[in-house]
């Protein structure tokens, strides 16, 4: 990274660097839970997706979901990580109202996936972020504090849902990098179909580790962990606020306590989460109800053979094959739905025009209407028809915009719009010449001015000719004939 783009926080001639590591909790897209057969579906009535196992009734035992294991391996492969053929499920012991077993089944010493990496496309080049590990674990239930004024209510629908915890190395250095990292991780998992990445529904959350140090320092400072932040915006706010808090402490000559903190989104500040007396001691030990998880090479190979083209590879292909700029390619591959949309459109139409129309007009509409590309009001079929109309000169780019505006309303066929509204471009040289003659006749004074050297007036004549054609005149032809007439 070039020096001037470094993210530094300044204090009286001093510059602090912010060190960030993320523990992302990604919900595995599975039908049933990690160790039980309850549904994982979002939004059900409280406690209706709870089995005896999820509620930790006496004598209930966990049986592992094969699909969740495969999804973890798949994600590991997507992160270019080492798949561990033997891993162990441990119990993480602590008491909480929404943790029915009194422990969470997780992986501690021996995770299913080891070291990997994620490549970030930053404005000034690529940056590699190391992945420390990925492990499988159970989600907890939900404590609800705002229904009953005197009690906390517990809903166990989420209890036991499979999560992948993806731990990054402390390689992130700015809120911007965090933004790009989360989006990239989300993109990879969506390409793989291992996590839907839906942050509103809590399918993707993160614990953020933040520490600060003076620029140039090589040792890490004491870090604090901000728990369970559920949007990128809040992660960025939390990082900035927490980094500044730590710097303030250092500036006052105080020490930073290593602790778990909570981000208060209303007050935009982090605060200590649990009292010291309750210092964490999770008493991890291998879950005796489960055996070590052994994965065969065959299974790994089978999953490998099913891995689709991932964003980095797709981006390279788009650049090499379609001659897109890295910037354009990055945008088009950022989301699997977008890249699929793009590839569908260019099956039958021009790549350059398709790129411009998708990243330009279409994205503007989606943004304005707050839609995902999967909900695009214009289908790939009709968009490629529109592009072909431009390409073969049937309509001008300007007319195309008018047509597009109408297409949005119920995915109308551009061919029909052009026909019904008579928007077809006038490309007959005779007809163009006729209307240009008319313009010249009607503006003899301007013609004289032009001929005496006022070149700027050329644009005026183009405008008049276009007006005369009711906007349908082929611009290239108008230009060409006008030039001949005026300069000849």
Contact between residue 160 and residue 65 where contact means Cβ atoms under 8 Å apart: no
Would you mind telling me the total number of residues written for the chain in this entry? 488
- Regarding 150 and contact with other proteins (CB under 8 A), the answer is yes
Contact between residue 425 and residue 394 where contact means Cβ atoms under 8 Å apart: yes
Of 290-298, 329-337, 341-349, 466-474: span binding other proteins (CB under 8 A)? 290-298
DSSP assigned state of 278: G
| Number of neighbouring beta carbons within 10 Å of residue 266 | 5
Q: Which is nearer to other proteins, 97 or 364 (CB)?
A: 97
- Regarding 107 and contact with other proteins (CB under 8 A), the answer is no
- Regarding 323 and contact with other proteins (CB under 8 A), the answer is no
Give the per-residue contact string, 35-54, with other proteins (x = CB under 8 A; - = no): --xxx-----xxxxxxxx--
Of 63-71, 126-134, 448-456, 464-472: span binding other proteins (CB under 8 A)? 63-71
Q: Which residues in 254-408 belong to E strands, given as ranges?
A: 260-264, 269-272, 285-286, 293-294
Q: Which is nearer to other proteins, 32 or 396 (CB)?
A: 32
Q: Please calculate the CA angle 76-315-181 and round it to the nearest 5 degrees.
A: 50
Rounded to whole angstroms, how far apart are CA atoms 251 and 259? Answer: 19
Among 10, 66, 248, 420, binds other proteins (CB under 8 A): 66
Residue with tokens 């061919």: 415
- Regarding 238 and contact with other proteins (CB under 8 A), the answer is no
Q: Which is nearer to other proteins, 43 or 288 (CB)?
A: 288
Give the per-residue contact string, 154-173, with other proteins (x = CB under 8 A; - = no): xxx-----------------
Of 137-145, 322-330, 415-423, 465-473: span binding other proteins (CB under 8 A)? 137-145
Q: Which is nearer to other proteins, 153 or 457 (CB)?
A: 153
Residue 426: burial class (beta carbons within 10 Å; 0-12, 13-18, 19+) = middle
Instruction: Kindly state the smallest distance separating residue 140's Cβ from other proteins, in Å.
Output: 13
Residues ≥6 apart with Cβ < 8 Å to 476:
none
Instruction: Kindly state the smallest distance separating residue 62's Cβ from other proteins, in Å.
Output: 7
Contact between residue 94 and residue 280 where contact means Cβ atoms under 8 Å apart: yes
Q: Give the 3-state secondary structure of 429-453.
A: HHHHHHHHHHHHHHCHHHHHHHHCC
Of 34-42, 212-220, 403-411, 449-457: span binding other proteins (CB under 8 A)? 34-42
What does the binding site for other proteins look like in residue numbers (CB under 8 A)? 30-32, 37-39, 45-52, 55-69, 88, 91, 93, 95, 97, 100-103, 143-145, 148, 150-156, 262, 273, 277-278, 281, 283-286, 288-294
């Amino acid at each position: 990274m070039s020096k001037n783009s470094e993210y530094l926080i300044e204090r009286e001639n001093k510059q602090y660097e912010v060190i960030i590591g993320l523990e992302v909790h990604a919900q595995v897209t599975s039908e049933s839970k990690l160790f039980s057969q309850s549904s994982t579906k979002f939004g059900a009535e409280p406690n209706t997706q709870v089995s005896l196992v999820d509620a930790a009734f006496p004598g209930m035992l966990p049986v592992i979901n094969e699909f969740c294991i495969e999804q973890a391996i798949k994600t590991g492969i997507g992160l270019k990580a080492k798949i561990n053929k033997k891993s162990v499920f441990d119990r993480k012991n602590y008491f909480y109202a929404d943790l029915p077993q009194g422990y969470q089944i997780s992986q501690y010493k021996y995770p299913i996936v080891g070291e990997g990496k994620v490549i970030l496309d930053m404005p000034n080049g690529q940056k590699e972020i190391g992945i420390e590990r990925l492990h499988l674990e159970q989600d907890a239930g939900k404590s609800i504090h705002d229904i009953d004024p005197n009690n906390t209510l517990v809903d166990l629908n989420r209890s036991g849902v499979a999560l992948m915890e993806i731990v990054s190395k402390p390689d992130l250095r700015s809120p911007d990098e965090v933004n790009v990292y989360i989006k990239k991780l989300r993109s990879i998992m969506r390409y793989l179909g291992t996590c839907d990445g839906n942050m509103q529904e809590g399918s993707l959350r993160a614990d953020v580790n933040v520490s600060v140090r003076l620029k140039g320092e090589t040792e890490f400072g004491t870090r604090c962990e901000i728990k369970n932040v559920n949007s990128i915006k809040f992660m960025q706010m939390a990082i900035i606020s927490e980094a500044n808090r730590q710097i303030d402490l250092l500036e006052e000559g105080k020490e930073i306590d290593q602790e778990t903190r909570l981000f208060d989104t209303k007050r935009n500040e982090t605060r200590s989460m649990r009292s010291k007396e309750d210092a964490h001691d999770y008493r991890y030990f291998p879950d005796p109800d489960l055996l070590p998880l052994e994965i065969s090479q065959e299974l790994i190979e089978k999953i490998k053979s099913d891995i689709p083209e991932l964003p980095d590879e797709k981006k390279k292909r788009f650049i090499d094959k379609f001659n897109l700029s890295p910037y354009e390619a990055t945008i088009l591959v950022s989301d699997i739905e977008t890249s699929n949309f793009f590839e569908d459109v260019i099956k039958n139409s021009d790549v350059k025009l398709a790129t411009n129309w998708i990243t330009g007009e279409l994205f503007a509409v989606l943004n304005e209407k707050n839609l995902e590309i999967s909900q695009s009001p214009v289908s790939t079929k009709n968009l490629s028809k529109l592009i072909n109309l431009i390409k073969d000169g049937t309509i001008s780019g300007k007319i195309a915009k008018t047509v597009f505006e109408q297409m949005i309303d119920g995915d109308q066929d551009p061919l029909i719009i052009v026909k019904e509204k008579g928007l077809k471009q006038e490309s007959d040289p005779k007809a163009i010449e006729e209307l240009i003659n008319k313009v010249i006749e009607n503006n003899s004074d301007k013609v004289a001015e032009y001929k005496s050297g006022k070149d700027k007036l050329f644009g005026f004549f183009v405008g008049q000719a276009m007006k005369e054609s009711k906007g349908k005149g082929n611009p290239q032809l108008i230009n060409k004939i006008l030039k001949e007439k005026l300069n000849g």
